[in-house]
Amino acid sequence: MRVAEKEKPEEEERFSRTGEFEADVAAPTTELMQKSLFHGGVLSAFGYRDFRLLWSGAFLSNIGTLIHTTALLWYVKELTGSNAWVGAVNLANFLPILIFVLYAGSLADRLDRRRLILWTQAVMMLAALFLAVATSLGWSSMPVIMVDTVVMGIAFVFNFPAWRALVPDLVPPEEILNGVALDAAGYNMARFVGPALGAVILNVWSIAGAFYINAISFMAVIAALLAISYRPAKTGPPSVSAWAQTREGMRYVKENRWAANLLIVLGIAAFFGLSYVVLLPGIARDVLNKGAWAYGMLLGGLGLGAVIGAPLVTILNRRFVESQIIRYAMLVTSLMIILMAVSRTYWLSILATVGVGISFLMVAASINTVLQSRVERNMRGRIMSFYILLFQGTAPLGGLLMGYVSDVTSASASLFIGGSVCLALAVVIIVFPSILKDAVSPVWQGEYPGSSGG
């Protein structure tokens, strides 16, 4: 890989544009992480009461949600014995993203964001409580689980854009980057803690107990939302409709090939790579001959990898352009998935999940960085809507396919197929560097020969 040196003044200029970068909660941008975690002020946003309250409530609620998800996928595997059903439930949770995310983003700009989040959090809490009671009484079945999961998925997709827009409102402009980075860091910490606690609850209590804990955890974030002194900004109605804005975003992607290429790479990687999460119950039970504890540790490995990957990608981005990081992190992701497919050793499989967590976050964060820093400010929200669609929308579809393939063959075979497709993708973007030659953030343009700057 070629190494390029950045000049300090340009680096400082890049970070002076406070408030111009939004971060995906699951994959914060490398610029954001570098500013917030390595250049001082690591916890500065916690100095503001409202942000501190909301972060704490969200952290507890996210742990509850991940406990719920861990228990739910294991429960479906126990009920049906089918990986395809596990994939179907996962799809039901995220399918609303494909349908509603663009409209939800528009709604977040029209309504009181705190009130919208409160309503959606309340709906998710009641849905979790219903599933807990139904499971306790023996009423739960696949139709009940699917309907309940769809309801929670719809509430989540209307919650997500409003939440992302609310966080920067709780800190002054000079602390926005730090606030969003800490929000993302909290989510990744929950991704590590939640599945591990879920495994413990499944072993020492019950599946219904995991659902009850999730329902209770929503009270933390609801209490935090009621306690903050948030005042919604007074804005006029948008000049064009949400559909017109969406069409404009589509034209932008079509006319800017570098953005289209990045989104295509992300979509393929998420469909065949990130979708392997639905195979973990089958890997734990059928391949490793382990129980719920092992399954929780495999999921926890992903979260741990993401926590490690966030600072690592920041360090690498000081020396390597984003396109280089995407190429070789994609290669590592594919090899780690293949390693899990052929592994019959518990500790080696956990190591592979940690590797996937590290490398895939680096891919997603680098793509996120380029997309957000290259597009015009008034186009950024729509471009990020496409990012969400491809990052969180295609993975459940891939999970449904991979689950079906695993039922026809085996979980290991399905995982190997997904890893092989990701390997082919990595080889293509490495052998043909022109595909991502413009996948470079502005700070590198003019310094890196592989970028045309447009």
The per-residue pLDDT for range 214-273, each reduced to its tens digit, is: 999 999 999 999 998 866 555 555 566 667 766 777 788 888 888 889 999 999 999 998
Q: 37-46, 147-156, 223-232: which has the minimum mean pLDDT?
A: 37-46
| Pick from 165, 323, 187: nearest CA to 232 | 165
As a whole number of Å, the CA-based R_g of the chain is 21
Residue 122 reports pLDDT greater than 90: yes
325 or 370, which is more confident: 325
Q: Which two tokens stand for residue 8?
A: 């300090």
H helix count then E strand count, the chain: 17, 0
- Which pLDDT score is estimated for 31? 54
CB under 8 Å to 184, separation ≥6 — which residues?
A: 23, 24, 25, 26, 27, 28, 32, 310
**Mean pLDDT of the 1-7 span:** 43
Mean pLDDT of the chain: 79
The predicted structure's pLDDT at residue 296: 79
CB hemisphere CA count around 215 (13 angstroms): 15
Contact 166, 113 (CB under 8 A): yes
Q: Would the pLDDT of 13 be above 60?
A: no
**pLDDT, mean of residues 194-211:** 85
Query: In which region does residue 176 sit, left (phi positive, over 0), alpha (psi from -120 to 50) or beta (all else)?
Result: alpha
pLDDT at 25: 46
Please report, to the nearest 10 degrees, the dihedral formed by the alpha carbons of residues 307, 312, 315, 318 taken in order: -100
pLDDT of residue 47: 81
Please report, for the chain, the start and end positions of each structural domain, with discontinuous segments joined by +: 23-230+250-436
CA-closest candidate to residue 343, choices 330, 331, 355, 360: 355
| Rounded average pLDDT over 377-394 | 71
What is the rounded CA–CA span in Å between residue 119 and residue 341?
42
Q: What is the mean pLDDT of residues 283-296?
A: 85
pLDDT of residue 37: 42
Q: Which residue has the higher pLDDT, 252 or 341?
A: 341
Q: Write down the pLDDT at residue 7.
A: 42
Given this model, what pLDDT does residue 261 score?
Answer: 92
pLDDT of residue 242: 63
**Angle of CA points 167, 171, 176, to nearest 5°:** 70
pLDDT at site 271: 92
The pLDDT value given to residue 85: 84
Cα–Cα distance for residue pair 277/283, rounded to 1 Å: 10
Out of 200-209, 327-336, 368-377, which region has the weakest mean confidence (pLDDT)?
Answer: 368-377
**Residue 288 corresponds to which amino acid?**
L
As a whole number of angstroms, the distance between CA 407 and CA 24 comes to 33
Which of the listed ranges 85-89, 148-152, 289-293, 404-408 does the model predict with the highest average pLDDT?
148-152
- Quick one: pLDDT at residue 451? 47
Residue 332 in this model has a pLDDT that exceeds 50: yes
Residue 44 or residue 284, greater confidence: 284
Span 171-183, mean pLDDT? 63
More confident residue, 168 or 103: 103
Confidence band for 39, pLDDT divided at 50, 70 and 90: very low
pLDDT of 152 higher than 80:
yes
> What are the φ/ψ torsions at residue 112 (nearest 5 degrees)?
-65, 115
* pTM beyond 0.75, yes or no: no
pLDDT of 389: 80
Q: Are 406 and 278 in contact (CB under 8 A)?
A: no
Q: How confident is the model at residue 120 (pLDDT cuts 50, 70, 90)?
A: very high
287 DSSP 8-state letter: I
Work out the percent of the chain whose per-residue pLDDT is above 70.
76
**Distance of alpha carbon 88 from alpha carbon 323, whole angstroms:** 34
**Does residue 80 or residue 222 have the better pLDDT?**
222
Locus of tokens 């509603």 = 100
Highest-pLDDT range among 96-110, 234-248, 291-305: 291-305
The DSSP symbol for 17 reads: -
Q: Give the pLDDT confidence score for residue 20 in this predicted structure.
A: 43
Q: Of residues 7 and 406, which shows the higher confidence score? A: 406
* Segment 167-174 long-range contacts (CB within 8 Å, at least 24 positions apart): 167/51, 167/54, 168/19, 168/22, 169/113, 169/230, 169/233, 170/48, 170/50, 170/51, 170/54, 170/228, 170/230, 171/45, 171/48, 171/51, 172/48, 173/18, 173/19, 174/18
pLDDT at residue 335, as a whole number: 96
State the pLDDT confidence band at 442, using cuts at 50, 70 and 90.
low
Instruction: Select from 409, 407, 430, 426 the least CA-distant residue to 84.
Output: 407
- pLDDT at residue 351 tops 90: yes
Q: What is the mean pLDDT of residues 274-288?
A: 85
Reported CATH class of domain 23-230+250-436: mainly alpha
Contact predicate 321/440, CB 8 Å: yes
